[in-house]
Amino acid sequence: MKKFELIVGLIAIIGIALKLMNLPGSGILTVLALLTLSMFYFIFSFALFNDIRLRDIFKKAAYKDTNAKRIIGAIGLGFALSAIIIGGLFKLQFWPGATVQLMTGLVSTGLILLIALIIYFRRKADYYVRIFKRIAIYGGLGLILYLTPTATIVDIYYRDNPEYAELYKKVLDDPENIELRKQLEQMRKEMQEIKLKNN
């Protein structure tokens, strides 16, 4: 399961990097990778954090080195990490609800981190080290995305076309404005035609 987590994580990083370069198909790659990673943590966190192999999750012997508290904690962390990943996806795609998702995931992860730190200093188990690594990675990235204004991400995506970026920000600020949406769509079509002529 760790290999799967690593592979999907790398694909997500590649998708985000391609999206930052504004390459075609990068949005789909990013969405698929982040959704897969989110579902993976949501469903299999109890096994991943307790170091149980996928083929052994239905075997009673695989759970001999864990207890109910660790399994419940792992499930809670899986939900929190899943919320951070979905919130990050929403923020990168400019979908509504990103802030709520990120905040939910970050607060939940923070609470789990606090509880895990208290228990870790009593027992020093490897289980908590596995948790801390993921909290550091996803919590840090989630916090960065939460603190980064959407306008900044728009400016990064469309750095080659500042007029389009400004219009896009206006549409994001006023999503009900049909006239702005029409202007944005017209500008998008013009950009595509210019690209086609240049190729």
- The predicted model gives 137-158 an average pLDDT of 93
For 25-43, letters b (16+ CB in 10 Å) and e give: ebeebbbebbbbbbebbbe
Q: Where are the domains of the chain?
A: 2-148, 160-198
Three-state SS for 64?
coil
Threshold 0.85, pTM exceeds:
yes
Residue 148: pLDDT band with limits 50, 70, 90:
very high
Give the percent of the chain with pLDDT over 90: 49
User: How far apart are alpha carbons 163 and 172 in whole angstroms?
Assistant: 14
- Taking 80 as the threshold, does the pLDDT of residue 20 lie above it? yes
Residue length, the chain? 199
Q: What is the pLDDT of residue 23?
A: 83
Q: What is the pLDDT of residue 15?
A: 93
- Taking 90 as the threshold, does the pLDDT of residue 68 lie above it? no
Q: What is the pLDDT of residue 199?
A: 63
- Tokens of residue 69, six digits: 């508290």
Closest CA to 34 of 100, 89, 76: 89
Task: Report yes or no: 4 and 22 within 8 Å, Cβ to Cβ.
Answer: no
Q: What is the pLDDT of residue 137?
A: 93
Task: Report yes or no: 89 and 31 within 8 Å, Cβ to Cβ.
Answer: yes
Three-state SS for 166?
helix
Q: What is the pLDDT of residue 2?
A: 81
Count CB atoms within 10 A of the CB of residue 8.
19
- The predicted model gives 64-73 an average pLDDT of 85
CA distances from residue 75 to 20, 81, 169 in whole angstroms, order as listed: 32, 10, 37
| Integer-rounded Cα radius of gyration of the chain | 20
Instruction: Write down the H helix ranges in the chain.
Output: 2-20, 26-48, 68-93, 98-123, 126-134, 140-147, 150-157, 162-173, 178-198
